Amino acid sequence: MIIEVEKGNKSSQDKIIRIWANGEIITIKDILRILDIIFKSEDANYPISKGFEGRAYFLKAIIDVYSGIPLEYVLEKYELKRKRKNNSVKPIEKLHEILIETLKE
């Protein structure tokens, strides 16, 4: 599995996480590492010192999901639905697409 952390666009400390699992299992350790990056990024983008909630806002969304609130509702409530339609990672669904992508490299 490859986990890449890149600079985001929201602030100087914003982070974007890209994951390529290639069929590998994402472990609890991986999830906690990802959460740590997201929490720090939320604090940088939405600092408490400027009246925002920082990581607490994201934690509230996690607690809502944990509490059984439907995911679609949580995504809307916390404005977490993907805003951009173009995703830079195209899912490969067919064997011939995999082979073509491999030949291009």
Query: What is the torsion angle, in degrees rounded to the nearest 10, for the CA atoms of residue 59, residue 60, residue 62 and residue 67?
Result: 140
Neighbours of 42 (CB within 10 A): 21
Higher-confidence residue of 22 and 100: namely 22
Q: What is the pTM of this model?
A: 0.64
At residue 40, does pLDDT exceed 80?
Answer: yes
Residue 91 has a pLDDT of 55
